[in-house]
Chain A
Amino acid sequence: MSEVRLRGVTAGYGREAVLDHVDLTVREGTTTAVLGGSGSGKTTLLRVISGFLRPGSGTVEVGGRTVAGPGVWVPPERRGVAYVRQEGALFPHLSVAGNIAFGLPWPRRRHRDRVLELLELVGLTADLADRRPDQLSGGQQQRVALARALAPRPELVLLDEPFSSLDAGLRVATREATARALRASGATALLVTHDQGEALSFADEVAILTLGRFRQVDRPTVVYREPVDAEVAEFLGDAVLLAGTAADGLVDCRLGTLPVGGPVPSGEVQVMVRPEQITLTETGTGQLDATVRAVTYFGHDAVVELDLANDAAHHPLRARVIGLHPPTPGDRVGVSVVGSVRAFPRGRTAAGTDLPVAEAS
């Protein structure tokens, strides 16, 4: 019963509404990642759910209980909503064990078993229990903060960019440990992040938040492969956007005639192709020919900038290839598109802003 449900929630500071009639449901035992840029309302959302900010309108339910709504206000400490912050915010005056046991009812605070169990759950060793927070690394601090949040078995765990202050290697390890711990504890969780990789890899569902509204809420594969519009597509990862014309489930563009997935509009469209859908082959063997203009090498993969042979305007096109044998600039290659592409009606985006006239990639 620890489902979270927001209906028509409006909230903000002073007159400025940061959240604008937001609806969101997080199913019991699942993790939803809210992905948004700065100023999108991510943190406001968490403050509303955790009870540090009263919504202007709408209702918030946690575990079937209305915690905020018309005439209802449950204070933060009685919501069973744990909150893990960007900088763990561990209590500097308490040991690791003291921090973890902080939210436990009083008789159980002195028992070490739950503390040790939680340390293990977040992948830390028992010998850290008596350390002080400032004797821990950043990643360890975040794990302790998570353990502290999980200790009272909350209905819901809120994670506010908990990995963003960690360096790259530590971030991945901590993220994985956190995901494992959340799964193992069966907790319902809401993660807020601006990192699409984090959102996609961590959560059962991803909710894209811009300007105080959810644009799309769905499984990671769906939002990545079938974004509702170009903006969402770009938000979730590198996207190649091309002008095209759609008809009968197919779209014509510079990359040729390609099958469209998802809803199929007709007429002038914007075509979205993920760079990894574009594969390179021997010259002459692909659907098109192209010249390699530049290569950015990342090790595990590489981004290749191409000049299509049939494009007089020389719009660059990006392809993402595995890093084993990347091409070198000047190489001539064959280009093919794997799988279906997305087509969005031209003219106006869902957010109401005009699309750029020029093609973007």
Chain B
Amino acid sequence: MTSTPVAVLLLDTVSRVHGHGETAVQALREVSFAARAGELVAIMGPSGSGKSTLLTLAGGLDQPSAGTVSVEGTDLASLGATGRARMRRTSIGYVFQDFNLIPALTAAENVALPRELDGESRRAARKLAVAALEEVGIGELADRFPDNMSGGQQQRVAIARAVVGERRLILADEPTGALDTETGEEILRLLRARCDAGAAGVLVTHEARHAAWADRVVFLRDGVVVDETGADRVEALVDATS
């Protein structure tokens, strides 16, 4: 895979080793990977294949043993801890399987939090949060607490939090894992729409049905990319049948 200006996320020959010597485990081996603007990429693989490691590296929550991880052209290693934290608030949105909402805050407060931490006024942050909640179809639930929402609604809040403030990289770790099939599909529709609107998305999943929403599906085994489906054939099929 080559580096292009539109690659929002770029992993260049990235390796990650946990531990030392005899007990060292190589979680990723020289993986190169890009997610471009407007593209949703799914990563599939069994437990221990390195897919979550890849996502934590992409989000700047962990650092590679070798190789570079760049977000919007900036090498995360060059930023330092403070810079990476800022990057996470402004450019990278994370969606987790278990939503990770703060129970003591309302939906709008949860979504506004990263903006407030970034120095935005409370009022401006709330305005952005409500807009983001409207975008994911739950504007009317802005003042509700997570405990009073269904799983699907909570995940929508999490997605709103991941995209608020025009963040261009969305990293989703099994976002549909705790949801029934139909609700899960709605969540994928939202992620997909966000990517169609110009974000780059990386979706880690072990469910093929969900990976199928992506433009590309990358298969990881033992920390190595073993195969990948492309988008070309799909385009051709839709063109031929519409």
A and B bound? no
* Chain B interfacial positions (CB closer than 8 Å to A): none
Interface residue ranges, A against B (CB under 8 Å):
none
